Amino acid sequence: MDRLLSIIAGVSLLLIAVVLLNIRRAHIRVEYSVSWLGAAVSMLALSQSPWLLTQLGHLIGVNNQPIALLLVVGALFLIVFFRFSVIISELKDANIALTQKVAILEYQINALHEKPQAPSRK
């Protein structure tokens, strides 16, 4: 039990460090790091607070603390993955709309360039 809690605490700290490092290097935008940091901090808090873990175990009807912890960690990651699926879907929709718009605008610009100039009035 203690070993599992220590491993989860270590993984949480590693995750926080990796996310912060990637924010610093501008590999992740701050708004998209919030989900990961929230999940990591929650895991760290649960692994370091037996009382909190017990309360949570009672809440979800699981008396075995390691199983309760793993369930909560799994649920946290599912929430994060779902959030990113929504974001990716929105980005894909925006990408398609932009791509179509670019293609249509390019076509219209080319057509304007090919259009013969009207004779100017003097």
Partner 1 sequence: MIAPSGKHSLMILIPAFNEEGAIATVIGELRQRHPELPILVVDDCSADGTRTVALEAGADVISVPYHLGLGGCVQAGYRLAFDLGFQYVIRLDGDGQHDPAYVGLIRDTLRTSGAQMVIGSRYVNGDGKHTSVARGIGIVFFRWFLALILRKEVHDPTSGFVGVNREALEVFARSFPLEYPEIEALVVLQRLTFRFEEVPVKMRARMAGVSTITAVRSFYYVLHVLLGVLVNILKYQGSKRRI
Binding site residues, partner 1, CB under 8 A = 96, 99-100, 102-104, 106-108, 111-112, 115
Which of 54, 108 has the CB closer to partner 1? 108
Q: Which DSSP string do the residues of 65-94 spell out, in sequence order?
A: HHHHHHHHHHHHHHHHHHHHHHHHHHHHHH
For residue 30, the Cα-to-chain-centroid distance in whole angstroms is 10
Residue 14 or 94 having the CB closest to partner 1: 94
What distance in Å separates the CA atoms of residue 93 and residue 91, rounded to the nearest whole number? 5
* Shortest spacing between CB 102 and partner 1, in angstroms: 6
Measured from the Cβ of residue 101, the count of other Cβ atoms closer than 10 Å reads: 10
Q: Tell me how far, at minimum, the Cβ of 32 lies from partner 1, in Å.
A: 23
Least Å distance between CB 78 and partner 1?
A: 20
Contact at 8 Å (CB) between 42 and 76? Answer: yes
User: Which residue number, 6 or 99, has a Cβ lying nearer to partner 1?
Assistant: 99
Query: How far apart are CB 99 and partner 1 at their closest, in Å?
Result: 5
Please enumerate in sequence order all residues whose Cβ is within 8 A of that of 33, keeping only pairs 6 or more positions apart, or say none.
19, 22, 23
Instruction: Using the minimum distance from each CB to partner 1, give the nearer residue, 3 or 113.
Output: 113
